[in-house]
Amino acid sequence: MVYVRQERLPNLKQYKYSSVDHSLLSKYVLKPFYTHVVIKCFPMSMAPNLITLTGFMFVVANFLTLLWYNPTLDQDCPTWVYYSWAAGLFLYQTFDAVDGTQARRTHQSGPLGELFDHGVDALNTSLEVLLFAGATNMGQSWYTVASLFASLLTFYVQTWDEYHTKTLTLGIVNGPVEGILTIATVYFLTGYLGGASFWQQALFPTFGIPQTLGPAGSPFTIPDFLYNLPFTKWYMVQGTIVLVYNTVESARNVIRARRARGDRSRYALFGLAPFFIAWALIVAYLSLQPAILRGHLIPFALFAGIVNAYSVGQIITAHLVKLDFPYWNVIVVPLSLGVIDSLGPVLQQHSPVPWLGWPSALGDGVYQVAFMFCMLGMAVGVYGSFVVDVIVTICDYLDIWCLTIKHPWVEGRDGDASVQANGADKKKQ
């Protein structure tokens, strides 16, 4: 399948990266650290995309230790495992931030870098949700599913925002900076405090806060449900607030940008539909197949993550080559078939209409599990073909390589850094 037509490729030459980062932590602490310290650790011969991929390997290593020590997401791991997760995530964040600096100093900046960076970030999102669930003993539960929904929605909305505004906007508190550091801190504290079971304790009693506050004459009593709320549920409350705020802000950014260009803003909001349709199917499938939710959530979460990564990859590609917004995601087709198959027996039992319903072809046992793994395999195949096709197409057109530097920049040669970076004119010489 061809994802980028040849007539669209000249638009790559008009690409210009634009971003706004309002994070104070990033501005005053992290960026000086990256620019003056970390970047010196990488040789000029190392391609920026290779730095990105290397950083992602730390997360993959973390995920493998999760599968070994805590495959059910509700067990305590050895202390060193949590420390390694904290270190791995911090290194991932560092490598992910430094790749842009490396691209600028080696004059290798280009559209492929943005596509590659976003693709890796999209895959990392679902892996980190599972690691966080394992670090807080959320287990294979709806809490983990809700965390996955919130994280993937945040990433999708951010990409949707960039497509319409042409600028990547990060708020004063954002996921790539404060969010990642917060999660890394949770990993570190989990190891320091003795295991993931710590986060299942009630927050107020743990900190010694009494349930009754105020003077003796007019005491204020914290309701039981609130007083006994564990750390993990407080995280869900905080995450919901941040999610709603960021989504609304992104929607406002899109509306302002489109109105400034004279476009109708309400049509842009339909770009959120693919995500919510996919997640309506995900929730329906897990509701109809509780065995998948309780026993095989990790592979299903990987499937849901790839669904989102494919959508995000299509949006970024459309942004780079100026295509219409992509609404279609073929990976949800088998998921919708799984929902239809699972819905039939429920309708047979509970529908007031006698003829409404049908027997399940898969049931709820081993065949259903096999079907779920088939969905995951199909998702990997479709997304993999998309990644390979788009990267090869862009590399061939710009005459560059993805993970190595094909045309090293030499100061003063040809007098044009952009030609050295992209190699776009090499084939014409």
In terms of Cα–Cα distance, which of 108, 104, 110, 113 is closest to 52? 113
Quick one: how far is CA 182 from the chain centroid? 16
Residue 168's DSSP bridge partners are 19
Joined tokens for residue 355? 């003829």
Alpha helices in 72-171 (DSSP H): 79-105, 111-135, 142-165
CA dihedral (352, 356, 359, 363) positive or negative: negative
3-state secondary structure of 88: helix
Half-sphere exposure of 4 (CA within 13 A, CB side): 29
Distance CA 46, CA 213 (A): 59
Give me the phi and psi of 212, to 5 degrees please.
Answer: -105, 125
Residues comprising the chain, all counted: 429
Distance CA 28, CA 32 (A): 7
Residue with tokens 């008009």: 14
Give me the phi and psi of 23, to 5 degrees please.
Answer: -65, 125
In terms of Cα–Cα distance, which of 282, 308, 380 is closest to 157? 308
The vertex-199 CA angle with 190 and 149, nearest 5°, equals 100
Residue 169's DSSP bridge partners are 20
Active-site residue flag, 118: yes
- Which of these is catalytic: 107, 118, 164, 407? 118
Catalytic residue set? 118
